Amino acid sequence: MDKKNKKVYIETYGCQMNFSDSEIVASVVTSNNFTIAGSPQEADVIFLNTCSIREHAEKRVINRLRELQHLRAKKPGLLMGVLGCMAGRLKEALLEDEKLGMRIDMVVGPDAYRQLPRLLKDAETGGKAIDVILSAEETYADIGPVRYGAGGVSAFISIMRGCENFCAYCVVPFTRGKERSRNPDSVLSEARQLFDEGYREVTLLGQNVNSYRWQDEHAGSILDFSDLLEMVAGINSRLRVRFATSHPKDISDKLIHTIAKHPNICRSIHLPVQSGSTEVLKRMKRKYTRAQYLSRIQAVKKLLPDCALSTDVIAGYCGETEDEHRETRSLMKEVAFDFAYMFKYSERPGTIAAKLFDDDVPDDVKTRRLKEIIDLQQEISLLSNRRDEGSTCEVLVEGRSKRSEDKMMGRNSRNKVVVFQGKDSKPGDYVWVKITGCTSATLMGTIVDQP
């Protein structure tokens, strides 16, 4: 395959970590003379970077791969590869054409993207190309991401990989392996470069950023996440800093104080609770109780009263009773999250939950409980946005509003989407907006002078 003219199309599913990984994949292939294709039709190689967090996520990918098979008729040499967590979970099973009823040429796990040039060669010569080995060291620190999808305003920076929390329902520790933190110097130089290139926001990424630890051999000191966050915030006060995701058991007062010290560290913390019942949290092996979670929330509200809080909630986990479901809803009311990601429990093969517990909550009950949680959160989000009406906030402009061409959109420090009249503003600008209206998902307003 004469690579000079060959194109790779990357389609990404799942979490922010996967989108950040796709930028590493783009970097590896473009530094091997491939170019990035804008659509599968124009590609010689199609990569789907996949998610395994729920059964539905995997079904979507399988259906998509089936959908794309017809392109082989037009391009016999076309290669298709599965990357990411599905590759790490299903491994060789993805190469069994008969069983799948379709051909997949490459299977590449989250720690094997450096091997892509070799695997592409193997696949070109008709070999089955697979590498799903997990690494205890790999952080891709020396590979500069190619931000082929980003709008030039906000960018992801992965600071660590893997997770060792082994929450009972989760596949991530099995598909992404042991925790390893990235050299802070490489994180800082990436953030500085982004600022110099005009980016005005970075999101520090990890399955659990609070587990970040770097042993500084020279200084003989250990850098934790608060230290790294402070260093990135120190690059420039016009560079906003966000981070995701935190595990409630590791969110320290030190971290909350660090956020309070730096106005450019955004006032929004994503703290997945998953359930409001201590008994369910025990069965989930989340390593905190309802009371411990609420005490962390109190600490945040005390030191950062203007901080927005978001969370993840699972409805219908193994053995969940109506009372335990009620505890989840009462916790959501008590915290009054500004936003939440809410899903039905989806049993994942190979997880601790699948081994220990029955997936015994009937699907219609899961669906009803999920609806109750979503309806409740929508009310809470609307009240939260109503409270912002009449206030003025600083917005980082990201681009045109999807819904109304004559309007611009951006987000404030609290990670709320703001749509406003502002034709003279451009992506990357900071503008002040007076909030005049809202929905449960969006704030609306007009540009005003800085108060």
Residues that bind ligand SF4 in the complex, under the rule CB under 6 A: 163, 165-167, 170, 172-173, 207-208, 247
Nearer to ligand SF4 by Cβ, of 172 and 204: the residue is 172
Beta carbon of residue 177, minimum distance to ligand SF4 (angstroms, whole number) = 11
Nearer to ligand SF4 by Cβ, of 46 and 170: the residue is 170
How many helices (DSSP H) and strands (DSSP E) are in the chain? 15, 21
State whether residue 270 is helix, strand or coil: strand
CA dihedral 247, 250, 256, 262 (to 10 degrees): -70
Enumerate residues 6+ apart whose C-beta is below 8 A from 236: 195, 264
Beta carbon of residue 160, minimum distance to ligand SF4 (angstroms, whole number) = 11
* 178, 295 contact by CB (below 8 A): no
Beta carbon of residue 244, minimum distance to ligand SF4 (angstroms, whole number) = 11
Nearer to ligand SF4 by Cβ, of 167 and 205: the residue is 167
Nearer to ligand SF4 by Cβ, of 44 and 224: the residue is 224
Length of the chain: 451
H or E element in which residue 10 lies: strand 7-12
Beta carbon of residue 317, minimum distance to ligand SF4 (angstroms, whole number) = 12
Burial class (CB in 10 A: 0-12, 13-18, 19+), 294: middle
Beta carbon of residue 228, minimum distance to ligand SF4 (angstroms, whole number) = 19
* 182, 17 contact by CB (below 8 A): no
Nearer to ligand SF4 by Cβ, of 346 and 421: the residue is 346
Beta carbon of residue 318, minimum distance to ligand SF4 (angstroms, whole number) = 15
Per-residue CA distances from 189 to 96, 137, 141, 195, 443 (Å)? 43, 20, 10, 10, 34
Nearer to ligand SF4 by Cβ, of 14 and 145: the residue is 14
CA dihedral 156, 160, 164, 166 (to 10 degrees): 0
Beta carbon of residue 288, minimum distance to ligand SF4 (angstroms, whole number) = 11
Nearer to ligand SF4 by Cβ, of 251 and 397: the residue is 251
What are residue 236's phi and psi, to 5 degrees?
-165, 135
Beta carbon of residue 110, minimum distance to ligand SF4 (angstroms, whole number) = 12
DSSP strand E in 104-188: where? 106-108, 129-131, 154-158, 160-161, 180-181
Q: Cis peptide before 245, with omega less than 30 degrees from 0? A: yes
Beta carbon of residue 284, minimum distance to ligand SF4 (angstroms, whole number) = 9
Nearer to ligand SF4 by Cβ, of 87 and 444: the residue is 87
Nearer to ligand SF4 by Cβ, of 146 and 172: the residue is 172
Per-residue CA distances from 426 to 23, 152, 157, 423, 430 (Å)? 24, 11, 23, 8, 9
* Alpha-carbon radius of gyration of the chain: 23
* 241, 202 contact by CB (below 8 A): yes
